[in-house]
Structure 1
Amino acid sequence: MGKKITMLDIANKAGVSKATVSMVINKTDNKISEETRKKILNIAKELNYIPNSIARSLSTNKSNTIGIILPDITNPFFAEIARAIEDEASENGYNVIFCNTDNVIEKEEKYTKLLISKLIDGVIFISGGDSSKSIKILEDNNIHFILVDRYIESYYKYYGVYCLNEKGVKEGIEYLYSKNNKKIAFVSGPKEIQVSMQRLKGYKETMTKYGIYKNNLVFEGDFTINGGKKATEEILKINEKVDAIFYSNDMMAYGGMKVLVKKGYKIPKDISIMGFDNINISKFIEPELTTVGQPIYSMGKNSCNLLIKLINNENIDKRQIYFETKLIIRDTVSMTP
């Protein structure tokens, strides 16, 4: 294996000093002629030179790299957010390092430390549970961060991008009720995640308003397909016919629909189904899922923009950005006789 190409190699071939090459590579070449600059860049390209980003970040105090910590990359909701962040970061000259925690807090803390060791400029953080320790690590190391989608109890006033979850669930229940669905089961997410509790609150308040709330119609899931399947099996065991099931994310809705179809239920003739998120596949799987939509791409894009403003010490009007949800009416809800 040959030695790594260095700035000195480029300088020797270009007939200039190493300092001149450094200025061109690091874009501090205001006093260097366009001819020399192009010559150096062409030689660097010809030799497949890759700059030492760590060395550069030590000298400039900036790596032009941001980290994304997310809980489950297999969930299309997070994959779509990550894509939006990557698109926006690339547009603004930033690289991205993805870290998938599998909703495991220990992995989350490990990746937080890893990103800091890579000299990242900031982190977009989507919590997998009680993430206060990970956030404290970022704070102690003066790393800018933006919270997305999920609140963290002691950091609810910090910079963040969220959706109006409670309001979205209320709108969903109102729609189900307008279709004469009164026995509505609800599958929440894990109780340690704030967004789960917000959605559950929206369900409880609206059901109570109409005098139809029953504690035995609330089930806890984990925002996964398997979690939806397990919760649905529990719902089918109760000695009560259910008109509709409201899953607090689309992935659990798909898990539940699989169980119901296997049991011989026709959706929505026998039972109505509603999800939450409006992930891309919602409009492709039959029957198409009625769901409460979040503007996923916009959330990712805005979180990246907010982080870059923080990194560059730009003026920020709002510490938190809240997006409205939108009821997406498709084919899984019908009128109950």
Structure 2
Amino acid sequence: MKKVTMKDIAIKAGVSKATVSMVLNKKDGSISAETKNKILKIAEELNYIPNGVARSLSTNKSETIGIILPDIINPFFSEIARAIEDTASKLNYNVIFCNTDSDVYKEINYTKLLISKLVDGVIFITGGKSNHPLEILQSNNVPFVLVDRDVEDQDNYCGVYCLNKEGVIQGLEYLISKGRKNIAFVTGNKGLKVSKQRIEGYKDVMSKYDMFKENLIFESDFTIEGGMEITEKIISENKEIDSIFYSNDIMALGGLKVLLRRGFKVPGEISVIGFDNINISNFTEPELTTIAQPIYEMGKQSCETLIDIIDGNAVNNKIYFKPELIIRGTT
């Protein structure tokens, strides 16, 4: 079976290929309504799909954007992706999703693929290991917007972020107000700027109350398994711990599972705080106290910003959202 073409429609309609092209590309001012409707009806009957690449080359616009994200399984990223797709759809854009597993080679390959597909722009959540994919986009004049994760030494890159340091400060001030003193902090990849911002918030607050201990900062990855493994380490090495602050909800859920399995009373013996406020954090038992990022709003804003750039409109270079402490059962 071969792909349906304009020539097939033209033969069945008894008109020229040029006439079909004018109708399907909405340049049909001189064509009668009867002929126009006939062509459109035949195109629908034959399930005709236009050549998007050819159209992009002629119009210099594909009405498609790409999303490159590090872990589609992580609900935080999937919620952002959903917001982007919802917003893009309302603005008549299609979306191509690319999952990288924080692998820089996948980031580079997907970046090149999206450019070859003539996308109008890219929303990028970096794995944090290299800026090279962003440099490739820049070299090819493809607009892009970062979301959630900023990169070092690139203040000219456009992005949508949460005030990470402020969120950690809110959570720690709350724990300390409840009499907690030995608070472990679990960060994700320390090479990420978002991790550095959250660690900075931890150091500032704990130093302010003369409670800072370097050995209470632990590094893991942003997964449930990472949260479980690091929690085993924390409780085996630090008997005086009364709270654990995790840098995302997924790690916190893994940690909560270990604590409850080991017989700890949460929050009686150990309080737990996460970061993000993903949907599932409200359905654990006990429910997870967390620092809420406005996830949907961040995704929506990143998409609107990218399309503004594509359309040639002026935009703010960096947009920040405020986090909010959501107090639930784990504290």
TM range (shorter): over 0.9
Q: Which amino acid aligns with 1:332?
A: T
1:194 aligned to 2:193? yes
- The residue that corresponds to 1:330 in the other structure is 328
- The residue that corresponds to 2:268 in the other structure is 269
Q: How does 1:90-129 map to 2 (within 5 A)?
A: 90-129=89-128
Residues 83-136 of structure 1 deviation map (CA, whole Å, 9 limit, x = unaligned): 110111111111111110001111111111111111111100000012311111
- Alpha-carbon distance change, 35 to 87 in structure 1, aligned in 2, over 3 angstroms: farther
Q: Which amino acid aligns with 1:156?
A: D
* SS class of match (1:161): strand
**Partners of 1:37 and 1:326 in 2: how far apart?**
55
- The residue that corresponds to 1:175 in the other structure is 174
- The residue that corresponds to 1:68 in the other structure is 67
* SS class of match (1:206): helix
Contact 1:181 1:243 in 2 (8 A): yes
For structure 2, list consecutive stretches of 5 or more residues without a partner in the other structure.
none
**Partners of 2:140 and 2:189 in 1: how far apart?**
30
* SS class of match (2:245): strand
- Alpha-carbon distance change, 174 to 35 in structure 1, aligned in 2, over 3 angstroms: farther
**Partners of 2:83 and 2:287 in 1: how far apart?**
24
Please give the root-mean-square deviation of Cα atoms over the aligned residues, in Å: 1.3
Q: Cα distance, 1:239 vs. partner?
A: 4.0
- The residue that corresponds to 1:259 in the other structure is 258
Q: Cα distance, 1:233 vs. partner?
A: 1.1
Residues 290-311 of structure 1 deviation map (CA, whole Å, 9 limit, x = unaligned): 0000000011111011111111
* SS class of match (2:129): coil
- The residue that corresponds to 1:160 in the other structure is 159
**Partners of 1:30 and 1:192 in 2: how far apart?**
58
* SS class of match (1:321): strand
Q: Cα distance, 1:271 vs. partner?
A: 0.8
Q: Which amino acid aligns with 1:324?
A: K
- The residue that corresponds to 1:210 in the other structure is 209
1:244 aligned to 2:243? yes
Contact 1:72 1:78 in 2 (8 A): yes
Same amino acid, percent of matched pairs:
63
**Partners of 1:28 and 1:248 in 2: how far apart?**
54
Q: Which amino acid aligns with 1:164?
A: L
Residues 199-243 of structure 1 deviation map (CA, whole Å, 9 limit, x = unaligned): 111111011111111111110011111111111111112243111
**Partners of 1:20 and 1:278 in 2: how far apart?**
55
1:320 aligned to 2:307? no
Equivalent residues, number: 331
Q: Cα distance, 1:26 vs. partner?
A: 2.4
**Partners of 2:30 and 2:284 in 1: how far apart?**
59
Q: Cα distance, 1:33 vs. partner?
A: 4.1
**Partners of 2:166 and 2:94 in 1: how far apart?**
35
Q: Which amino acid aligns with 1:248?
A: S
**Partners of 1:166 and 1:54 in 2: how far apart?**
44
**Partners of 2:238 and 2:267 in 1: how far apart?**
21
**Partners of 2:101 and 2:142 in 1: how far apart?**
23
Contact 1:225 1:253 in 2 (8 A): yes
**Partners of 2:104 and 2:204 in 1: how far apart?**
31
